[in-house]
C-alpha cells in the first residue's frame, strides 16, 4: 500500500481506517439500490476511484491494488462516493457491468438468507 497519496487531505482526515489502513467500501448499483459487494480501500485506492471513475480496491490476499473489471470485464463505473457518519465505511454507487461477484453472480449476496429466530 502507498504511504504517500494525493488523496484530498480534507477527505483523508475524515477516514477512520482499521489497523491495516483500510476502510470497507460497499458497492451498490446506483439506479436500483442493489447491494453488489464489499471491497477494501486505502487512501490510494480511494484516490484512484475518485479520479478515474472506476472502482479500485486493495486486495488483502494478494497485497495489491486491483481495478474491478480489468481482468473479468465486469467493471464498476462510479456514480458517487459517500462516507458514513462515523467515517469508517464508504458507499460507492456504481453502474455495474456484468457480475460483481468473483463467482459470476450479479451480487456477492445471492446466497440463501440465513434463518432468523
Helices (H), 25-88: 43-52
User: By percentage, how much of the chain surpasses pLDDT 90?
Assistant: 85
Architecture of domain 9-96: Roll (3.10)
Q: List pLDDT tens digits, range 61-103.
A: 999 999 999 988 999 999 999 999 999 999 999 999 999 998 8
What is the predicted pLDDT for the residue at 3?
Answer: 55
What is the predicted pLDDT for the residue at 4?
Answer: 63
Quote the strand ranges of the chain, DSSP E: 23-29, 35-41, 56-59, 64-67, 76-83, 90-96
Residue 76 neighbours by CB distance under 10 Å: 28
Residue 34 · residue 105 · CB < 8 Å: no
Q: Does pLDDT of 2 surpass 60? A: no
Mean pLDDT within 33-59: 97
Q: What is the pTM of this model?
A: 0.90
Amino acid at each position: 500500500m502507498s504511504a504517500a497519496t494525493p488523496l484530498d487531505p480534507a477527505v483523508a482526515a475524515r477516514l477512520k481506517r482499521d489497523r491495516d489502513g483500510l476502510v470497507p467500501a460497499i458497492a451498490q448499483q446506483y439506479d436500483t439500490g442493489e447491494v453488489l459487494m464489499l471491497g477494501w480501500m486505502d487512501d490510494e485506492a480511494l484516490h484512484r476511484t475518485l479520479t478515474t471513475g472506476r472502482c479500485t480496491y486493495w486486495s488483502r490476499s494478494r497485497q495489491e491494488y486491483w481495478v474491478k473489471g480489468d481482468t473479468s470485464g465486469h467493471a464498476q463505473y462510479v456514480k458517487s462516493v459517500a462516507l458514513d457518519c462515523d467515517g469508517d465505511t464508504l458507499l460507492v454507487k456504481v453502474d455495474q457491468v456484468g457480475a460483481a461477484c468473483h463467482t459470476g453472480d450479479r451480487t456477492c449476496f445471492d446466497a440463501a438468507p440465513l434463518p432468523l429466530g
